[in-house]
């Protein structure tokens, strides 16, 4: 399965996971089957709150899941409409930490009430 992880920076395995899904400057695409990692710029980073559409570019990657620290309710609903599972990064704060945690099956799925409802949610 391919997994999308929002990042604050592009600095290899130690890249910091972004606090907010839609405004992350980069997205890692991780193929759990092969271990391949591709990092892409978020061309939709600057947008009006609630109007982000990074999911539109995810279809080309064939991802089945995303791992986030925070995501808005509308973005979460949109991801789910594409058939994507949403997991919380938990205490994992780096790309490699999320990859390892996801691979070990210890990340929890996002529940609807855990999605951000506005600024200052976490």
CATH of the domain at 35: 3.30.420.130
Asked if residue 84 has pLDDT above 50, the reply is: yes
Taking every pair of C-alpha atoms in the chain, what is the biggest distance, in angstroms?
37
Sorted by sequence, the CB contacts under 8 Å of residue 56 that are 6+ apart come out as 44
Q: Report residue 8 CA to chain centroid gap.
A: 11
Quick check: is 119 in a domain?
no
**Reported pTM:** 0.85
Asked if residue 52 has pLDDT above 80, the reply is: no
Quick check: is 36 in a domain?
yes
Quick check: is 18 in a domain?
yes
Residue reference for tokens 């992350």: 24
Quick check: is 60 in a domain?
yes
The pLDDT value given to residue 27:
94
Q: Report residue 29 CA to chain centroid gap.
A: 9
Per the structure, the count of domains in the chain is 1
Q: Give the mean pLDDT of 96-104.
A: 96
Quick check: is 6 in a domain?
yes
85 lies in which domain range? Answer: 2-114
Quick check: is 121 in a domain?
no
- d(CA 18, CA 91) in angstroms, rounded, equals 13
């Amino acid at each position: 399965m391919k997994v999308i992880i929002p990042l604050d920076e592009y600095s290899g395995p130690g890249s910091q996971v972004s606090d907010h899904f839609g405004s992350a400057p980069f997205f890692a695409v991780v193929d759990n089957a092969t271990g391949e990692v591709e990092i892409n710029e978020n061309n939709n980073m600057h947008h009006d709150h609630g109007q982000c559409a990074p999911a539109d570019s995810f279809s080309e990657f064939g991802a089945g899941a995303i791992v986030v620290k925070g995501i808005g309710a509308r973005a979460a609903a949109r991801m789910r409409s594409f058939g994507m599972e949403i997991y919380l990064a938990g205490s994992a704060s780096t790309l490699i930490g999320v990859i390892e945690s996801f691979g070990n099956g210890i990340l929890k799925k996002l529940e609807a009430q855990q999605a951000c409802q506005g600024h200052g949610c976490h």
